[in-house]
Structure 1
Amino acid sequence: MAGNSNSGRSAKPSFLKVIEGNAGKKSASDLLRDIETQTVGAAEPPMPDYLSPAAQEEWSRVVPDLLVLGWVHQLDMMALASYCEAVADWRRFRQLIAKKNAGQDESGDVQTYSTGAKQISVWRQLANDAEKRANAAGALFGMSPLARRNMKAAPQPQGELFTNEPKAAASRYFT
């Protein structure tokens, strides 16, 4: 289907044009204005009340880092909730597999039928599915090396050289 909206390369972001050079000869002021208007400020999405306790723990673990990087916004609640639930599911299934494998039969990984046929267990299948869901949702937030390669961290102002505790300690010795 030639000529539809999916044809050709997707547009290169303005910040990349500034870094690599402006082959299209667009004015620098237009590029800078595009960069400023494309940026969505980082904001913590509200944690959904329906998350499982393990998913809430994952939410609390990743949101502060995503805020620092500027990679999360209030609009990202559903994608982030999907990631957190997938990680919680994966952990739960992996723990269940480990418990089942603690015996000699390794029934957590392989299911053996009465005929002697073996198949990957339903717990392993569920864990694999949860891992795929977590990886797919996590890639949206730069949670893999390949995904991070394409992400751009929001510029952070340089803070003080010392935080409060080291600063107080340094002032005792260097004043």
Structure 2
Amino acid sequence: MGRKAMPIQLHLLQGNKSRLTKKEIEQRMEAEERLKPKADKVKPPSWLDPLAKKEFKRIVSELSELGLITNVDIVALATYCDAYSDYVKCTKMIAEEGLMVEYTNKAAETNKVPHPLLTKKKQLHEQMKSLAAEFGLTPAARAKLAIAKEDKKPKTEEEELFGDAL
């Protein structure tokens, strides 16, 4: 399985490892600009609860400044916000009821067992983590967007003369 394609700007930030020429870079930039979705209807869906809508608006305000959110991203971001809201609810219920709850089995024996919402909370955390990475909402995801370090080796005479054309 091959790697995911990345936007040309990100490719360039990471150092143009595949040695694309200036012409190839310009062609990719033009193609990506033509394919870029609009960002004029980025609003929280009506099916989100108030907490999820608040989180949606908070994230959109941050990502809008960076130009990283578009109309086609709404459902994925709403899914993240819905999972966030459910996660908060699970956390509150576990805090109220405790980590261990009493369970009566078929033999009428009562035992202390881990709260069933702990499993749901873990599932929601995994869902949020994978969606957060898609939007650059984690430190690791943002680190991938950071500018790659420059090579310390000096340029050869040919690189000085011809630059990226090589």
Per the normalisation by structure 1, the TM-score is: 0.66
Distance in 2, matches of 1:41 and 1:50, equals 23
Residue 29 of structure 1 pairs with residue 19 of structure 2 = no
- Measure how far apart 1:94 and its partner are: 0.7
| Kept in 1: contact 2:94–2:115 (CA 8 A) | no
* Matched AA of 1:20: G
Query: 2:87 maps to what in 1?
Result: 90
* Matched AA of 1:136: S
Number of matched residues? 139
After superposition, residues 115-154 of structure 1 pair within 5 angstroms as 115=109, 117-151=111-145
Unaligned runs of 5+ in 1: 1-5, 101-105, 154-175
- Measure how far apart 1:31 and its partner are: 0.8
- After superposition, the C-alpha distances for 1:130-150 in whole angstroms (9 at most, x for unaligned) are 222211221110111222223
Query: 1:20 maps to what in 2?
Result: 15
- Measure how far apart 1:13 and its partner are: 4.9
| Kept in 2: contact 1:59–1:84 (CA 8 A) | yes
- After superposition, the C-alpha distances for 1:93-132 in whole angstroms (9 at most, x for unaligned) are 11111122xxxxx3xx223435465432112222222222
Q: CA separation of 1:50/1:22 partners in 2, compared to 1, >3 Å: closer, same or farther?
A: closer
Distance in 2, matches of 1:134 and 1:22, equals 31
| Kept in 2: contact 1:14–1:34 (CA 8 A) | yes
Distance in 2, matches of 1:51 and 1:23, equals 42
Distance in 1, matches of 2:114 and 2:32, equals 47
Identity %: 24
Distance in 1, matches of 2:85 and 2:23, equals 46
Unaligned runs of 5+ in 2: 148-166
| Kept in 1: contact 2:13–2:145 (CA 8 A) | no
Flag the structure with more relative contact order, 1 or 2, with Cα contacts below 8 A and sequence separation at least 6.
2
Distance in 2, matches of 1:22 and 1:139, equals 23
Identify the match of residue 47 of structure 2 among 43, 50, 54: 50
Residue 111 of structure 1 pairs with residue 101 of structure 2 = yes
Local SS of the residue matching 1:140? helix
Output the aligned Cα RMSD: 2.7
